[in-house]
Amino acid sequence: MKSALSGVVIVLMLAACATTTSPTGRRQIVGGVSQQQLDQLGAQAFAETKAKQTLSRDGKQNAYVQCVVNALVAELPQQYRGVRWETALFVESEPNAFALPGGKVGVNTGIFSVAKNQDQLAAVLGHEIGHVISRHHEERLTRQQGTQVGLGILGALAGAAYGDTAASAVNQFGSIGAQGVILLPNSRTQESEADVVGQRLMAQAGFDPAQAVELWQNMMAAAGARPPQWLSTHPDPANRIRELQRDVPALQPVYRQARQAGRTPRCG
C-alpha cells in the first residue's frame, strides 16, 4: 500500500514538472499549469478584484500609470510584448500594486504616497511585472501542487497505519509546516529576484534605477512595524535596500544608453 502510493505521487509530480532557468539564472521547477491556464487564472483574479474594489475615474492618474506600464512593456521579451496589457487603478489607501499572467496590472492609489515620481512608480511596476516574466506564479502553483499531493499521500499513509485522527493531524500540521518551510522561503527568493529583474527592466526603459532605492526607503518609512523576516513573504527592507544599492552602478550605463537611444519616458 505505502509503496504503491509513493510510486503514484512520484509519477504524478515528475509528469507535471519541468526544470527551467529564471532571468537571473536560478533553477526553477515549473510546468504544473499551462500558459493558457495561467492567463485564465490571471484574467479571473483581475476581474474579481475589479468587481470588489472601487476603480479610480481620475483620468490623469490612470494615464500616468498606463504610461509607465507601456514604457516597461516595450522592453519585455517578445512573448510578453505581444500581450495586450490591461491596467486598473483602485481607490485604496494601502500602497500596493500587482501584476498577473495574461498582462494584468493593478495599482492602488495609495502607491502615490510612496512612489513620488515616475521613476519610483516604474520601480514598483517593474518589480511586479518582473514576477510575471520570471514565471513566479507558475513556479509557486507548481510547488503548491507538489506540496498538496505530498501531504495527501502522507495523510493516506498515516490513516492506513494509525486511523483517521492521525491522517487529519498530518494534513493539518503538515500544511502549516509546508507553508513555513517550503512556500514562504521560496516567495522571499522570488521577491528578491523580482527586485533584480524589475530594476534592470526600469533601467532599460529609461527610468533611473537609483530611484528604486529611494522608493523602498519611502516604503520602509511608511511601513513602520513589520513581522520578522523569517515569517514574511518579503525580504527584510534593509537587506532589500542594500541589494538595490549594490546593483545601481552596473545599471547606470544601461540607463544612460536607454536615454541616448531616445527612451525618455515623460509620464508625469
Distant-in-sequence, close-in-space partners of 145: CB < 8 Å, separation ≥ 6: 16, 32
Q: What is the pLDDT of residue 21?
A: 80
Spatial distance between the Cα atoms of 138 and 48, rounded to a whole number of angstroms = 20
Burial 6-32 (b: 16+ CB within 10 A, else e): eeebeeebeebbeeeebbeeeebbbbb
Query: DSSP states of 50-79 as a string?
Result: HHHSPBP--HHHHHHHHHHHHHHHTTS-HH
Q: What is the pLDDT of residue 181?
A: 31
How is residue 91 annotated by DSSP? Answer: -
Question: Cell 494509525 sits at which residue?
Answer: 162
Spatial distance between the Cα atoms of 83 and 163, rounded to a whole number of angstroms = 51
Active site positions, annotated? 128
Q: What is the pLDDT of residue 16?
A: 52
Question: Cell 506564479 sits at which residue?
Answer: 137
**Residue 78 one-letter amino acid:** Q
| This prediction's pTM | 0.78
Q: What is the pLDDT of residue 17?
A: 62
Q: What is the pLDDT along the chain (268 residues), one digit of tens a residue?
A: 344 434 434 444 444 567 878 777 788 777 777 788 888 888 888 999 999 999 999 999 999 999 999 999 999 999 899 888 999 999 999 999 999 889 999 999 999 999 999 999 999 999 999 999 988 888 887 877 654 444 343 343 334 443 444 444 334 434 434 333 323 444 788 888 999 999 999 999 999 999 999 999 998 888 775 555 444 566 778 888 999 999 999 999 999 999 999 999 999 8
Q: What is the pLDDT of residue 138?
A: 83
35 three-state secondary structure: helix
Sign of CA dihedral 26, 17, 234, 214: positive
Could you tell me the three cell numbers for 259? 536615454
CB 20 within 8 A of CB 135: yes
CB 169 within 8 A of CB 158: yes
Nearest Cα to 137, choosing from 100, 162, 107?
100
Q: What is the pLDDT of residue 190?
A: 86
Q: What is the pLDDT of residue 145?
A: 66
As beta bridge partners, residue 28 has 20
Spatial distance between the Cα atoms of 41 and 125, rounded to a whole number of angstroms = 20
